[in-house]
Amino acid sequence: MSATLYVFGIVAALAVLVVIFMLLRRGTLRERHAVWWFVGGLLALIVAVFPQLLAWTARLIGVEVPANLIFFVAIALLVLLSLQHSAELTRAEDRIRTLTEHIAMLNLRVHQLERTEEKRDGEE
């Protein structure tokens, strides 16, 4: 492996981590959503710094081409993240539903109160 490729790998992994950190700092990304992205970035950095580690792990598990191990881990991570997002979406929808119901009920109560108020004013 050439030195440029080695440096490129480290720089790319670091860039990902820096971007995640910046997003967290600006409040664009919440900590609990960033965890898995952070894990991914860290794994990429470790593999970029110690490529032997990848080859060793691949041999240990029995993966013939070490790059396939990267693809496997990356896809697994993305699938998990996607699932997490779907679950979060469901939770968010549920909250919207509860809030919608509450707003509708409050609206009706205010409307009824206003009507009784008007009636009372009319009688006076």
Partner 1 sequence: MRGMAAPGSKTLIVVPAFNESEAIGDVVGAVRAEMPDADCLVIDDASTDDTAAIAAARGATVMRLPVNLGVGGAMRAGYRWACERGYDIVVQVDGDGQHPAHEIHALIADLEHADIVIGARFAGADGAGARGPRRLAMWILAHTISRIARTRLTDTTSGFKATGPRAIRLFARNYPAEYLGDTVEALVIASRAGLRIRQRAVAMRERQGGTPSQSALRATVHLMRSCLALCIALTKPRASIGPAWSSTEGLVVS
Q: Which stretch binds partner 1 (CB under 8 A): 37-45, 48-56, 65-73, 92-100?
A: 92-100
Per-residue x/- track, 43-82, partner 1 (CB under 8 A): ----------------------------------------
State which residue, 35 or 113, has the beta carbon closest to partner 1: 113
103 binds partner 1 (CB under 8 A): yes
The nearest distance, CB 104 to partner 1, in angstroms, is 5
Burial degree of 14 (CB within 10 A; 0-12, 13-18, 19+): middle
Residue keyed to tokens 């794994």: 43
Rounded Cα distance between 21 and 18, Å, is 5
Rounded Cα distance between 17 and 13, Å, is 6
Would you say 63 and 32 are in contact if contact means Cβ atoms under 8 Å apart? no
With CB under 8 A as the contact rule, the residue among 18, 53, 100, 117 that binds partner 1 is: 100
39 binds partner 1 (CB under 8 A): no
